[in-house]
Amino acid sequence: MTEQEKLNKIHKYFKYNYSGVVTNVHGQYTMNFAGSDFDGDIIFSTNNPQVVKGAYRNEKVTAYDVPKPKKKANLTDYDLYESDTFSFGQQIGPLTNICTSIYAMLPLFDEDSEEYRVLISRIKQCCVNQSKQIDKTKLGQDVKCIVPLWKKWQRIDLDNDTTEEIQKKNFYNSIIADKKPYFFKYKYKPFNKEITEYTKKHKEISELKFGKTLESLLNTPKEKLTDDESEFLSYYKKYYPAIDTDCTMNKLCKYIEGIDFHIKQKVRNTSDFDYKVLLSKDFTLNKKLYQQIKKEVESTFKEWAEKTKSNKTNEVVKNLDFSGIQAKFERETECNNLKAKLDDITSNEEQLANHLVYLFYVDRPSFSKSTLWMLVGRQLYENIKAKHDSFNFPVKDENGAMEFLYEKYQITNLPVPEPQPKVSIDDSIENDENNSGYFNYDNNIEKEGYF
């Protein structure tokens, strides 16, 4: 078969595929894709040089044999119910977390040590069990999750344990994964609080006891430390709440922590921003109207603050996994309610937007600007557009001076587009006896030749 014939065949079978990755069902490709299969798993391709450079080459994927399902001639509703309830309570989250902890512990040991070998073995077991947990319902059997030995400290009984048992317990106690990696502090707030309080406490002890900062002690070479200082640091590291090793994610986390992005100053500092660009032309403040708007907004913001404070003390709300999504939904609802109240004060959207801009930027600059845009964002856009006939926008350009996601861009001045005419709908279609106001999908499909 010639190359052209191959291309023609590919075009014949895949001409309607505009995206996605086509793979061979008879090849080993899905194994290379981290052990994926054909039930909707998602993969992606990238030309990101950092990802390409850091990719594992010829990685051996952990696999397992899938038990054959028991065939049943007639499925009942109860069988479906059992299948659904069996899928509940998957332990993929805890299993992934402990696997991450074990991975973070690897830098503590030499690669040729027995501890390193056992930790690698546990990571492989986690990979298998992760896949099994995801496919638990398809497998139809319970899956081993976390082995207690991996994270539970074993008590040593000096009176009754043999020498061999003591050595074995000491070995397993040296590699228990009973802590979270350092970078998890940005995922779990209580964990972050625990680290912060522990560090703060030992900073104070260091300064009171040695007259030195904790940072200076940690950066002092071992041979230059006193016995008391060495003992103090040994205790500090042993009982530190997190796994603070040089694993990849910890290093990335600390690298980012060491960069001052000046985010607070950039977000909160509005001194360099001319808020007047958000106002419409020839705006004049109506004091009476402004006082009504101001009173309503301030009263609502006070209610929001009291509600937020109440929620922070409510452990049930704080620990819900969907609390972030719920909070976002509630804030959108609250903004819609506030907008309805403001519309009762004035139905003139342009007038409302102008007075809110003055309130948020002049009178109450600490108020969240995101709320302002949620309330009257569309009108602010219209105000800005009405004052300009062009705008600057980054356009893809091979010779551009600006780089983003490995593409070159050039800041280009573009004209503001003219408003598009609204599409009018012919009401006469409702009186058409042939379609009675409805579109005949079946006839249209046949005419277009889809089947």
CB 347 within 8 A of CB 353: no
Q: Tell me: the pLDDT tens digits for 174-203?
A: 999 999 999 999 999 999 999 999 999 999
What's the pLDDT band for 412 if we cut at 50, 70, 90? very high
First-to-last alpha carbon distance for the chain, in angstroms, is 31
Q: Tell me: the pLDDT tens digits for 136-151?
A: 877 777 777 788 889 8
Q: Tell me: the pLDDT tens digits for 248-305?
A: 999 999 999 988 877 766 665 556 788 899 999 888 999 999 999 999 999 999 998 8
Sorted by where each begins, the domain ranges of the chain are 3-27+41-60+89-173, 180-257, 290-387
Task: Give the three-state DSSP class for 279.
Answer: coil
What residues pair up with 390 in beta bridges, in sequence order? 415
pLDDT at residue 337 greater than cutoff 70: yes
The predicted pLDDT at position 430 comes to: 43
Q: Phi-psi category of 338—alpha, beta or left, where left has phi over 0 and alpha has psi -120 to 50?
A: alpha
Average pLDDT over residues 418-434: 53
Please, is 164 exposed, middle or buried when counting C-beta atoms within 10 Å of its C-beta (0-12, 13-18, 19+)?
Answer: exposed
**CA angle at 319 for the pair 315 and 325, rounded to the nearest 5°:** 120
- Nearest Cα residue to 122 out of 145, 94, 154, 99: 99
Average pLDDT over residues 209-229: 92
d(CA 99, CA 119) in angstroms, rounded, equals: 9
Give the CA-trace dihedral at 36, 39, 40, 41, to 10 degrees. -10
> In this structure, how many other beta carbons lie within 10 angstroms of the beta carbon of residue 200?
11
Q: Which residues contact 96 (CB under 8 A, 6 or more apart)?
A: 126, 130
